[in-house]
Every structure is written in structure tokens, then in C-alpha cells.
Amino acid sequence: MVRGIHHVGIVVEKLTVAYGFYRDTLGLPLLKELEIRDQGVRAALLGARESEIELLEPVQAGTGVARFLEKRGEGLHHLCFETEDVDSSLRRLKATGVLLIDETPRQGLAGRIGFLHPRACAGVLVELATPPNAPPHPESSPLRVKRVVIASSDPKATAEIFQRLFALPEQFMNGGPRTMLGVGRGALLFVPAEEVGGLEGMVALSVVAEDLATVSERLRDAGAAMLSGAGELTVEPRSSHGVHLHISRFD
């Protein structure tokens, strides 16, 4: 049903400020910026190889994104899967009783889109998108989305929901309570909420860097708070607009 992770949505206070980190420091190319009036946001898509990062700035009080920012602050907001035909995908989901926000597609920054209700996906806001025919994402992007980390009180049960809805294959892991599902070249990693302070929903984003040394140097020059290890680093949320961002070597 889905081809891959089209984008990960991040709510920010100001696009112009968030560009300083995601575009200027990380080097993600800006693909598109647009005000979406029916959602009360100004949104931007930045390239991350086969996927994208969507930044959302609320420009109207009382909207879903504005309430998210007021309640939770900046951070991970939604997960978008690319599908060949969003119309038929929504029809199929509706026919099986899945709770939808959009029963028919509408136009969004990613193309024709439709949202599932978070209650359908264990508290995760999931978007489906069929992008317009366009050239491939620019290969100049230094980062690729590797996986989205989702925390749950019952990771295996939550993973089963995503498997049932989107036919995602399970990837091998060495036992334990964690479960990982493949989505194109990316993956969803389901972890126990107790590992992340009891939080549930999307809790972290993992990307891989073609040149980790250069990315690390740019982050240091920008004064980003981060922890470095052998072949990987983790940017603290206060420096990445509320996102637990893990960066490892390009694979």
C-alpha cells in the first residue's frame, strides 16, 4: 500500500529560525515553501534523499498545529507515507472501518493527501500522500531518513496495527520488546515507552549522513548541543527544534 516514508512533519515556532538548523547547518535543500490556509500553517519541504522533512509554522490561532505548539512545544508532529493512489488507499481504509480525518483527499504541500485519525494508529498522526509527477529528490542532500522511533506501552501490538493497516514487513531484531518494520529504504522502530520516560508516539528521528565528519563539524560550529560516539551522534532537542535527532554514518 505504501512505497516509503514521504516525509516527517515537525512543528516549529518560526520557519526562518528553523531554516538556520535544518537548511543551513544540516544542509538539507529547500524544495518548496507554501502557506496552506485551510490548515493555518506555513509549511516547507526539505530534501532528505528519498524522503523529506516538513517544517510547519502555525500562522492562525486555534488550528491543530497551533494547538500542538501551544501544548507540546516544537517537535515531531506527523508521519507521512507515500502511496501510489491516495484515493483508493483512503477508500480501502474507510471500508475496513479505520477512523479517518480525511475520507476524501485534498491538496497539500506533498500533493494529494489524506490524514488518518491518531486513534487509528496508536496515537500517531499518519498522513498518506500521492505526490505530483516531479524530478527525483536532489542527490545533493547530505542526509537520508533512516527510521522513525515510535514509543508505546505495548510496542509489538502497536507494530501489528501498522502492519495491518499498511502491509509493512517486519525486519529482524535480536529478540526483546522492540519491533522494527520496513518502509521502503526506511523503517519504523517501536520501543517501550518506559525506555523514553513514559512518552508515547513519535519520539525520535534517525538519519544517516554521507559525510558524518562534515555534518558533525557544522553542528559544532553552530554551537549545537550534542553527544558524539563512534560513528554516530545525537543532537539534543533544544538544538534541533524539539526533535531527538540521531545521525549515523551513511550506509
Q: Going by CATH, does the domain composed of 4-130 fall within 3.10.180.10?
A: yes
Q: Give the model's confidence band at 136: pLDDT under 50 very low, under 70 low, under 90 confident, else very high.
A: low
Write out 109-154 in H/E/C secondary structure.
CCEEEEEECHHHHCCCCEEEEECCCCCCCCCCCCEEEEEEEEEECC
- Over residues 105-134, the pLDDT tens digits come to 999 999 999 999 999 999 999 999 999 875
| 225-243: average pLDDT | 95
- Over residues 142-196, the pLDDT tens digits come to 999 999 999 999 999 999 999 999 999 999 887 789 999 999 999 999 999 999 9
Integer Cα distance of 18 and 21 in angstroms:
5
| Domain residue extents for the chain | 4-130, 143-249
Q: Going by CATH, does the domain composed of 143-249 fall within 3.10.180.10?
A: yes
Give me the residues paired with residue 100 across strands.
Answer: 116
Listed residue (78, 32, 38) closest to 60, CA to CA: 38
pTM for the full predicted model: 0.96
Whether 143-249 and 4-130 are alike in CATH topology: the answer is: yes
Handedness of CA 238, 234, 213, 77 (dihedral sign): negative
- Over residues 64-100, the pLDDT tens digits come to 999 999 999 999 999 999 999 999 999 999 999 999 9
